[in-house]
A and B are shown apart, each in its own frame.
Chain A
Amino acid sequence: KAGVTQTPRYLIKTRGQQVTLSCSPISGHRSVSWYQQTPGQGLQFLFEYFSETQRNKGNFPGRFSGRQFSNSRSEMNVSTLELGDSALYLCASSPGTGQGEKLFFGSGTQLSVL
């Protein structure tokens, strides 16, 4: 089975721009979660999508949004980028059918905002 695939692997943007990150979950997994990882803040939960609906949301501003398609692929969008948005963005998938499921992470997208 192919793992979780995230694209692109690296991104460099400037302040004020917007960015879209993509995540393809493991085949059969219907839940996709997004995390932001920074050296100072660790792994922060952004949101979770299940069956094309946002099921959970973290404490991030509205500039951070996401969506999920019928094939479970998910995209995350950040608008009006700020320097502090520089981070590794990790996507994780799970079957989505139970509580406390283990997560399978992708390799992440390293975003640098200049």
Chain B
Amino acid sequence: GQQVMQIPQYQHVQEGEDFTTYCNSSTTLSNIQWYKQRPGGHPVFLIQLVKSGEVKKQKRLTFQFGEAKKNSSLHITATQTTDVGTYFCAGPGGATNKLIFGTGTLLAVQP
């Protein structure tokens, strides 16, 4: 079945450093979504990318959708302690387009 992998699984950075997580799907995606889950919280929608090669920015966060629509990345510039959490990518998969979540990347930020 379809798999969505993310790397790294975990990253620890000093506050102010940049951070990037990569998402790779075994199949082409019609769109990709990104979610953030704070420790002890629930996933919260961040953004959706639809077009091949699309790039979107939200303040210090930059999201990219690959040309082949099989991979995506999230880059955070100058991390802050408020960025702590697990970042998930997700894409519709299977015959019925249920949303399949990536394995997630846990970001720890040391002040």
Contact = CB atoms under 8 A, between A and B. Distances in A.
Contacts, number: 53
Interface string A59-97: 100000000000000000000000000000010100000
Contacts of B66: none
B85 interface: no
Given A43-B43, A43-B88, A55-B96, A100 B48 contact: yes
Interface stretch (B52-60, B75-83, B100-108): B100-108
Interface residue range, chain B: 20 to 34
Contact of A103 (B1, B31, B45, B94): B45
Interface of A: 33, 35, 42-43, 45, 48, 55-56, 58-59, 90, 92, 99-100, 102-108
Interface of B: 1, 30-31, 33, 35, 41-45, 48, 50, 88, 92, 94, 96-104
